[in-house]
Amino acid sequence: MELSIDPSATWDYDLVIIGGGAAGLSAAQYGARANLRTLLLEQTAPGGQALLIDHLENYPGYLEPRSGYDFAEAMRGQAELFGAEIRTAQVEAVERRSGRFELRTDTGLIRAAAVVAATGAEHRRLGVPGEAEFSGRGVSYCATCDGPFFKGKRMLVVGGGDAACDEAGFLAKLSEHIVMVHRGPAFRAQKAVAARVLSDPHIEVRFSTVVESIRGDKKVREVILQNTQTGERRTEAFDAVFVFIGSNPRHELFPEARRDETGYLLADQRMESSVPGLFVAGDLRASPFRQVVVAAADGAIAAHSASQYIDELKAARPEAVAEPVAAS
């Protein structure tokens, strides 16, 4: 592990976590429990995409579903109970200098020995009328999270890649009434993945078809679909719309870290990126499975690995410890 230490360099915090979703809050808890001076920076409210979950029912240990908000609040309180500091701030730039990190934020400059990148990824939106209004009320971006609420119901899947096909296959185990639309004339998914969908008797596939709008009252009731070749529009009843047209990882703050072809940061089993001292957790990390429980596990591993990294820094120069800073 490269340390590249400047003996005169000091830092304000041992560990700074960027992003307050499940991964970041888990990292904050484990960082604080390791007796690290730990700061979590979140530009909005802690919780991340968990805040959009109406009923979280598949997190281990919860016999009764709870709201994503309640789950996030419990994680936040737990992290603070162990001593983590949580601050509302927008990080504008991250630079590694003299073996430490400097974070430029809208509240000032922060220096850290190690950083956990937990900025997540944004689901790409269709951008059609009704999508935002019914998000969490029938419009979803996670079949594993929300599919069980619509067992036996008529569901629409939008997308044509591997993720869309995999999720459609999952939903087809819950209902015999799955319609899948893709704007192109053929799937973009791998042939074997696409073949499973095309041979599934519970999935009706329509190519060259797009969603024009989503309608409803308190929840999704119907969708207007348009055939891009004929121009024909059809209004059809659906109970749920699942959108899988890709995600945009929020990697802009970490240009030097290695990424995969889709922009997700690559990390080893210790969650360390290609940049020494920069650890990755949650939806920003290249991962085959994105769930709240996976993000929380990532955060725990990242904080534990960061603690080991910081121990090596302190052993190399014990005089350069985190210096308490006044809260802004």
Residue 232, amino acid: E
165 has catalytic annotation: no
CA angle 94–99–101, rounded 5-degree value:
20
- Residue whose token pair is 């949580």: 86
Angle at alpha carbon of residue 107, lines to 105 and 110, rounded to 5°: 60
- Let me know: does 271 contact 282? Beta carbons within 8 Å: no
Of residues 145, 239, 283, 298, which has the active-site annotation?
Answer: 145
Angle, CA 218 vertex, CA 245 and CA 152 arms, to 5°: 65
The residue annotated as part of the active site, out of 12, 14, 70, 146, is 146
Query: How far, in Å, CA of 209 to CA of 232, rounded?
Result: 10
Structure tokens at 248: 């945009």
CA-to-CA distance for 28 and 42, rounded, in angstroms?
12
Residue type, 185: P
Half-sphere exposure of residue 310: CA atoms within 13 angstroms, side-chain side = 29
- The catalytically annotated residue of 12, 14, 142, 165 is 142
- Intra-chain end-to-end CA distance of the chain, in Å: 34
One-letter amino acid at 280 equals V
The residue type at 87: R
**DSSP alpha helix (H) spans, the chain:** 22-33, 68-81, 143-146, 162-171, 191-198, 292-316
Nearest-CA neighbor of 17 among 284, 264, 248? 284
CA dist 90 and 5 (Å) reads: 28
Catalytic residues: 142, 145-146
